[in-house]
């Protein structure tokens, strides 16, 4: 129901909004003193509240990084949990300032939906999970013909699923829910044979099931799912801040700047590190973005570099234990590549 | 005195400011201008802001490929169909669950409502408890009760409960054999139509005879015999052209046969039983609203309690019952949008998916509003016709 409320609110907001271009998001954010960040309703490793009610995960940390860049304080974020259906309207109508909610970057969303994706914080692909105890002998997605498949509505996942079964001339019946928790509950109760979403999501969801050990993730990856944060179109300054926050996280990892050593790195004489940390004499790379010159120092102090963020939330430091794989830096054979700060 | 003076002076003064007709015309025009002006302003602003935010607008998206599948499709639909067709599928699902819900809710509601007036203590109390329970729980909880509390705890497909006539019940839904009509089955349909026509003719003749001579004829049992007997006769004459497609166990689910999904079942049961509680109260109020003198007068004429109810009390009660019944039908139709909580692909769920895949929230919400408005207006229209036929004809 909530998405309709947001839809109507969005429509009303569009109707009553002053037609003159409003002030830039950076000014608005500075004025209210925090960033409103749209996250998922709870996906382990990406954005989920812990037992103290604090949001954890790569997506939540990305918002903290932007807050650190803007305010010098990573805690100046307020989180809005959104279902897959609500997310774009919430951003379009100005209810949130940044959407950091395991969202796939597609051409349609980048153009017709009025969004502007700032980068790929996690390269993912869609997979399937089944209950191996109930379905012994199924070890490939190609054996799933006739299965009932649980999926969240309004996602690229829903579209890929239709494409995959059509392409392989297989039958299935979709069991579609609006909220992630509803899909999880239905799959756990045995309403469907298979669960499909981004593979990283499957590992996170498996941990929340009643008996995680019974479930296996099938080897097939059926799509490209570049997940990343998005901002509203038409505000270049705010888009640059979000985009370069992401690149700063990558550059910090590449230069070996970590949460632990960032203070001593400030005395480094390496010109590259000096440029990144804003210690270069007369450097004003931060100021050019509309930020302070020590913006990267603040980011790394708040959330660490990209690698630290990854390992803490989804990698070896988390229950998910996902390997870096294609999310490693380009120098280590992965796809994560940050354009230089200079 | 003062009013008389004004009346007398008015034509001579000729000041149109004080003319009530001109004044009311002026204010009405002002309201219309303000109303349309603000509507125009809102629409204009929406268009301008959509363009400024680079969000696509317009209804062209209805013709593009949907790309997603829907679980319940009353008409042919694949992921290659258009968004427009997906919306129609959603609308049909809403209509199916609303119509089926209205039928069940009316039957259950009338039984419970009459039961609350029963002489039997136990029946009366059971009906009261039913009304008080279902009337006081939000419909969403009733839906969850059926979905998570009843249907989800049934066994998985491989351990399905076997029911008579090759039917199965498991947590994926209710499966029963699908009838496949062979050659010559048209004879059965013709026989059925013929039987209905004959039953109507018999009823008509019986009424005429009763008016003329006062003699009664067992119309009900004759009609039952005709409507069941003739098609059965045709069935045997046609060489029994009927086979069944039985549901069978396959790798994952049962295949074949007819399959009712748990989402539909729980929504239908929840909506019908919830609304039935309100209908029961309306029916009770309607029957109570017919004055006792009516049934006493009928009894004095020598009618027995059955015909008193059927011929005297119920026709008068219907005049009280129908208007609030219409509201309950509208409520049921609109409550069906709660389907989204359990994943039944009704109009709200499908339009929500379309809205999200295309990002065109304004158009999506607009289509939804119009669709529900039209559904409600059609329901009201039909019920108003029924009401007009039932209304007291005054001379």
Q: Record the tokens describing residue B2, joined without a space.
A: 């003062």
- Between chain A and chain B, the number of residue pairs with CB atoms below 8 A apart is 161
The string of DSSP codes covering A18-50 is: -SSPPPPHHHHHHHHTSEEEEE-S-BTTTBEE-
Beta-strand relationship, A147-152 and A172-177: parallel
Mean pLDDT to the nearest integer, A239-245: 96
Which of B18-22, B82-86, B391-395 has the least mean pLDDT? B391-395
Share of chain A above pLDDT 90, in %: 74
Residue A4 pLDDT > 60: no
pLDDT of residue B133: 94
**Predicted local confidence at residue A292, as pLDDT:** 93
Q: Where are the alpha helices (H) located in chain B, listed in sequence order? A: 2-13, 20-52, 83-115, 121-135, 139-144, 186-213, 219-237, 262-289, 292-300, 305-307, 314-335, 347-358, 361-390
Shortest Cα distance from A236 to chain B (angstroms)? Answer: 12
Domains in chain B: boundaries: 2-52, 83-157+264-390
> Would you identify the CATH topology of the domain B83-157+264-390?
MetI-like fold (1.10.3720)
Per-residue pLDDT, A174: 92
Task: Write out the two tokens for A68.
Answer: 């650190």
Which of the four pLDDT bands, split at 50, 70 and 90, describes residue B160?
A: confident
Could you tell me the domains of chain A?
2-123+227-332 (3.40.190.10), 126-223 (3.40.190.10)
Q: B187 versus A9: which is more confidently predicted?
A: B187
Position A237 scores a pLDDT of 94
> Is there a contact between B364 and A190 if contact means CB atoms under 8 Å apart?
no
The region of weakest confidence among A34-38, A98-102, A133-137, B128-132 is A133-137
Token representation of residue B194: 């013929």
List all residues of chain B from 140 to 179 with a beta carbon under 8 Å from chain A.
Answer: 148, 152, 156, 158, 171-172
Record: contact B253-A177, CB cut-off 8 A: no
B359 lies within 8 A of chain A by CB: yes
Phi, psi for B185 (deg, rounded to 5): -75, -15
The answer, for A123 touching chain B at a CB cutoff of 8 Å, is no
What percentage of chain B carries pLDDT values higher than 90? 42
Span A250-278, average pLDDT: 94
d(CA B355, CA B302) in angstroms, rounded, equals: 65
Test A154 with B56 for CB contact under 8 angstroms. Answer: no
Closest partner residue to B352 among A11, A153, A162, by Cβ?
A153
Give residue B11's pLDDT band: very low, low, confident or very high (50, 70, 90). Answer: low
Phi, psi of B181 (to 5 degrees): -85, 130
Residue B222 near chain A (CB below 8 Å): no
**What's residue A277's pLDDT?**
94
Q: What is d(CA A121, CA A327) in angstroms, rounded to the nearest whole number?
A: 8
Rounded CA-CA distance B66/B230 in Å is 47
Highest mean pLDDT among A15-24, A67-76, B181-190: A67-76
The confidence score (pLDDT) of residue A11 equals 54
Which residues of B are less than 8 Å from A191 in CB distance? 152, 171-172, 262
Q: DSSP per residue over A195-217, as a string?
A: EEEEHHHHHHHHHHSSSGGGEEE
Which uninterrupted H or E stretch holds A277? helix A271-277
CB of A236 within 8 Å of a chain B CB? The answer is no
- Please, which pLDDT band fits residue A1 given cuts at 50, 70 and 90? very low
pLDDT at residue A232 tops 60: yes
φ, ψ dihedrals at A269, nearest 5°: -100, 0
Predicted pLDDT of residue B280:
96
Calculate mean pLDDT across residues B104-114.
Answer: 94
Q: Concatenated DSSP letters for B316-345?
A: HHHHHHHHHHHHHHHHHHHHGGGGGGGT--
pLDDT (0 to 100) of residue A223: 93
Mean pLDDT, residues A150-174 taken together = 92
pLDDT one-digit tens code per residue, A37-78: 999 998 989 999 999 999 999 999 999 999 999 999 999 999
Q: How far apart are CA B154 and CA B160, in angstroms?
A: 8
Give residue B266's pLDDT: 92
Contacts of B251 in chain A (CB under 8 A): 143, 145-147
More confident call, B13 vs B117: B117
- Chain centroid to Cα A326, Å, comes to 16
pLDDT the model gives residue A12: 57
Tell whether A88 is within 8 A of chain B (Cβ).
Answer: yes
Cβ contact, residue pair A92, B361, below 8 Å: yes
The minimal CB distance from B67 to the residues A19, A162, A189 is found for: A162
Q: Which of A70-79, A313-322, B180-189 has the lowest mean pLDDT?
A: B180-189
Return the pLDDT at B1.
Answer: 45
Q: How many helices (H) and strands (E) does chain A have?
A: 14, 14
Q: From the CA atom positions of chain A, what is the Rg in Å? A: 21
- C-alpha pair distances (Å), B214 with each of A45, B208, B219, B356: 83, 9, 14, 68
Write the CB contacts of B134 (distance below 8 Å, at least 6 apart in sequence). B142, B273, B274, B276, B277
- Work out the end-to-end distance of chain A between its first and last CA atoms, rounded to an integer number of angstroms: 48
């Amino acid at each position: 129901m909530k998405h309709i409320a947001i839809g109507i609110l969005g429509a009303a907001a569009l109707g009553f909004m002053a037609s003159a271009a409003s002030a830039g998001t950076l000014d608005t954010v500075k004025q209210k003193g925090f960033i409103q960040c749209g996250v998922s309703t709870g996906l382990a490793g990406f954005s989920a509240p812990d037992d103290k009610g604090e949001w954890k995960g790569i997506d939540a940390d990305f918002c903290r990084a932007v807050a650190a860049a803007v305010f010098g304080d990573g805690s100046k974020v307020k989180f809005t949990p959104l279902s897959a259906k609500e997310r774009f309207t919430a951003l379009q109508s100005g209810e949130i300032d940044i959407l950091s909610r395991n969202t796939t970057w597609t051409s349609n969303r980048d153009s017709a939906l009025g969004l502007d994706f700032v980068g790929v914080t996690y390269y993912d692909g869609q997979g399937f999970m089944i209950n191996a105890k109930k379905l012994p002998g199924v070890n490939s997605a190609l054996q799933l013909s006739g299965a009932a498949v649980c999926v969240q509505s309004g996602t690229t996942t829903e579209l890929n699923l239709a494409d995959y079964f059509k392409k392989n001339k297989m039958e299935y019946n979709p069991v579609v829910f609006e909220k992630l928790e509803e899909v999880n509950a239905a799959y756990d109760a045995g309403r469907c044979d298979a669960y499909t979403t981004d593979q990283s999501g499957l590992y996170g969801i498996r941990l929340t099931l009643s008996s995680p050990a019974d479930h296996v993730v099938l080897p097939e990856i059926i799509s490209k799912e570049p997940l990343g944060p998005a901002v509203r179109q038409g505000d270049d300054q705010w888009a640059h801040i979000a985009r370069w926050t992401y690149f700063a996280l990558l550059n910090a990892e590449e230069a070996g700047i970590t949460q632990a050593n960032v203070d001593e790195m400030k005395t480094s004489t390496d010109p590259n590190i000096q440029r990144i940390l804003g210690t270069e004499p007369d450097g004003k790379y931060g100021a050019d973005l509309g930020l302070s010159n020590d913006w990267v120092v603040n980011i790394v102090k708040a959330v660490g570099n990209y690698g630290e963020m990854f390992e803490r939330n989804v990698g070896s430091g988390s229950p998910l234990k996902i390997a870096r794989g294609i999310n490693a830096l380009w120098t280590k054979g992965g796809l994560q590549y940050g354009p230089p700060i200079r | 005195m003062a009013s008389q003076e004004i009346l007398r002076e008015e034509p001579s003064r000729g000041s149109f400011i004080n003319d009530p007709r001109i004044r009311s015309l002026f204010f009405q025009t002002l309201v219309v201008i303000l109303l349309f002006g603000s509507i125009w302003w809102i629409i204009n602003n929406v268009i301008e802001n959509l363009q400024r935010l680079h969000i696509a607008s317009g209804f062209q998206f209805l013709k593009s490929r949907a790309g997603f599948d829907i679980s319940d499709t009353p008409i042919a639909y694949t992921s290659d169909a258009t968004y427009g067709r997906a919306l129609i599928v959603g609308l049909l699902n809403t209509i199916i669950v609303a119509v089926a819900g209205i039928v069940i809710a009316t039957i259950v509601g009338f039984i419970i409502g009459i039961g609350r007036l029963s002489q039997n203590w136990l029946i009366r109390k059971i009906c009261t408890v039913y009304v008080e329970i279902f009337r006081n729980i939000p419909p969403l909880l009733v839906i969850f009760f059926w979905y998570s509390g009843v249907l989800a705890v049934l066994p998985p497909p491989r351990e399905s409960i076997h029911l008579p006539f090759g039917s199965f019940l498991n947590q994926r839904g209710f499966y029963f054999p699908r009838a496949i009509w062979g050659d010559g089955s048209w004879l059965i349909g013709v026989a059925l139509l013929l039987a209905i026509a004959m039953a109507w003719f018999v009823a008509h003749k019986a009424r005429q005879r009763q008016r003329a001579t006062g003699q009664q004829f067992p119309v009900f049992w004759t009609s039952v015999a005709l409507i069941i007997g003739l098609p059965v006769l045709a069935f045997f004459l046609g060489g029994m052209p009927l086979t069944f497609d039985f549901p069978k166990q396959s790798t994952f689910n049962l295949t074949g046969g007819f399959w009712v999904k748990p989402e539909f079942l729980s929504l239908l049961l929840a909506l019908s039983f919830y609304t039935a509680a309100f209908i029961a109260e309306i029916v009770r109020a309607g029957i109570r609203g017919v004055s006792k003198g009516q049934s006493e007068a009928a009894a004095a004429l020598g009618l027995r309690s059955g015909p008193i109810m059927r011929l005297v009390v119920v026709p008068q009660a219907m005049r009280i019952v129908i208007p609030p019944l219409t509201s309950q039908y509208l409520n049921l139709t609109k409550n069906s949008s709660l389907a989204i909580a359990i994943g039944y692909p009704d109009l709200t769920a499908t339009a929500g998916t379309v809205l999200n895949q295309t990002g065109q929230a304004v158009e999506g919400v607009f289509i939804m509003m119009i669709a529900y408005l039209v559904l409600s207006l059609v329901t009201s229209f039909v019920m108003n016709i029924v009401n007009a036929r039932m209304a007291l004809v005054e001379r």
